[in-house]
Amino acid sequence: MAIHVGDDIEIVQSNREKLSQNLSLPRQPIWLNQVHGNKIINVTHDYSLSDGDGFYCKELDKPCGILTADCLPILICSTKKKEIAAIHAGWRGLGSGIIKRALDRFESSSEDVIAYLGPAISSEVFEVGYEVREYFCDHAENLVEKNRIKAAFEKWGENKLLADLYELARMDFELYGISKIYGGNFCSYRNSELFYSYRRDGITGRNASIIWLK
């Protein structure tokens, strides 16, 4: 069970049990110790809590859970084969290719893959420094990709940029030939009645995004 510093373990466990019951999950979700990186974990029948920021899973009835509070949760599945992925995509993970790492695990062809972009902080309020854009550009594979990355950042004031996590994620999927990309319509920061947001509240809960194979 992934626990954050300062969490009340009993409350966390109670909330996760309620989540499982309300969603009629086949079993308690498995979680990651999320570290804002790009490591994808292969789920096996004896999986135990691991450091990483993404799951790839072919096991039935094994809900894979991602926790976010402004970062981008991404759920991926195949329409033809029994394989799924769940990704916690902070800007560091996105910039260092976590989506590509997850898609490399898939056996399905790109036209059979569907992606859903869950609630994250939107480009209207996601203020970052220029070093964030440079981080993405440093990992770009060619000039075309680098120019598209630059277009996902808008100048904001003298020394800041506004970053579009949704656009940066879509770019990676499209580079893999995946066009069935859904979601990306919410803002965790601005929709306070629906979502937790670390940037908005500081001390806050987490939004759970879950996917599993039946």
* Residue 111 Cα distances to 107, 173, 188, angstroms: 12, 11, 30
Tokens representing 187 are 């803002």
pLDDT value for 19: 87
> Helix, strand, or coil here: 165?
helix
Tokens representing 91 are 């800007």
Give the predicted TM-score (pTM) of the model: 0.93
Domains of the chain: 9-121+178-211 (3.60.140.10)
Compute the distance between CA of residue 25 and CA of residue 30 in angstroms, rounded to an integer. 11
Comparing CA positions, the residue from 71, 41, 72 lying closest to residue 59 is 41
pLDDT value for 199: 96
pLDDT value for 157: 82
pLDDT value for 3: 45
Please answer whether residues 167 and 152 qualify as being in contact, where contact means their C-beta atoms are separated by less than 8 angstroms. Answer: yes
Q: Are strands 160-163 and 153-156 parallel, antiparallel or unpaired?
A: antiparallel
pLDDT value for 4: 52
pLDDT value for 184: 95
pLDDT tens track, the chain, 214 positions: 444 545 667 777 888 888 888 888 999 999 999 999 999 999 999 999 999 999 999 999 999 999 999 999 999 999 999 999 999 999 999 999 999 999 999 999 999 999 999 999 999 999 999 999 999 999 998 898 999 999 999 999 889 999 999 999 999 999 999 999 999 999 999 999 999 999 999 988 899 999 999 9
Residue 142, number of CB atoms within 10 A of its CB: 8
pLDDT value for 49: 92
Residue 64, number of CB atoms within 10 A of its CB: 26
